A and B are shown apart, each in its own frame.
Chain A
Amino acid sequence: MSQASSSEALITMSGVDKWYGDFHALKGVDLEVRRGEKIVLCGPSGSGKSTLIRCINHLETIQKGRIVVDGIALDDSARVVDAVRREVGMVFQSFNLFPHMTVLENCTLAPMRVRKVSPADAKATARKYLEKVRIGEQANKYPAQLSGGQQQRVAIARALCMEPKAMLFDEPTSALDPEMVKEVLDTMIGLAREGMTMVCVTHEMGFARQVADRVVFMADGEILEAAEPETFFKNPQNPRARTFLGEILAHH
Chain B
Amino acid sequence: MGLPEYLFLLQGLKWTVLLSCIGFVGGGIAGLMVALARTSGLPVLERATSGYIGLFQGTPLLMQLFVVYYGLSLVGLQFEAWQAVAIGFTLNASAFLGDIWRGSIEAVPRGQTEAARALSLGYVSRMRDVVLPQALRISLPATIGFLVQLIKGTSLASIVGFTELARADNIVSNQIFKPLLVFGVVGAMYFALCWPLSLFGSWLERRLAAPTR
Contacts and interface: CB of A to CB of B under 8 A. Distances in A.
Given A110-B119, A114-B119, A100 B114 contact: no
B211 interface: yes
Interface string A97-115: 1111010000001100110
Contacts of B208: 100
Given A92-B114, A96-B112, A162 B134 contact: no
A162 B120 contact: yes
Contacts of B213: 144
Contacts of A78: 122
A162 B121 CA distance: 11
Contact of A85 (B112, B118, B130, B212): B118
A94 B115 CA distance: 10
Contact of B112 (A82, A98, A110, A159): A98
Contacts of A153: none
B129 A113 contact: yes
Main secondary structure of the interface of B (DSSP, over half): helix
Given A92-B111, A144-B213, A99 B134 contact: yes
Main secondary structure of the interface of A (DSSP, over half): mixed
A155 B129 CA distance: 17
Interface residues of A, number: 27
A11 interface: no
B133 A100 contact: yes
Interface residues of B, number: 22
Interface string B85-119: 00000000000000000000000010110111111
Nearest to A141: B211
A6 B191 CA distance: 73
A144 B211 contact: yes
Contacts of B120: 82, 85-86, 110, 114, 162
Contacts of A102: 211
Contacts of B122: 78, 82, 113-114
Contacts of A113: 121-122, 125, 129
B167 interface: no
Contacts of A114: 119-122, 125
A113 B137 CA distance: 23
Nearest to A115: B120
Contacts of B121: 109-110, 113-114
A113 B125 CA distance: 7
A218 to B, nearest CB: 21
A90 B118 contact: yes
A159 B137 CA distance: 26
Interface of B: 109, 111-112, 114-122, 125, 129-130, 133-134, 137, 208, 211-213
Given A100-B208, A159-B119, 12 more contacts: A59-B117, A78-B122, A82-B122, A85-B117, A89-B118, A92-B118, A96-B114, A98-B115, A99-B211, A109-B125, A109-B130, A162-B120
5 contacts: A85-B119, A92-B111, A96-B115, A113-B122, A159-B118
Interface of A: 57, 59, 78, 82, 85-86, 88-90, 92, 94, 96-100, 102, 109-110, 113-114, 142, 144, 155, 158-159, 162
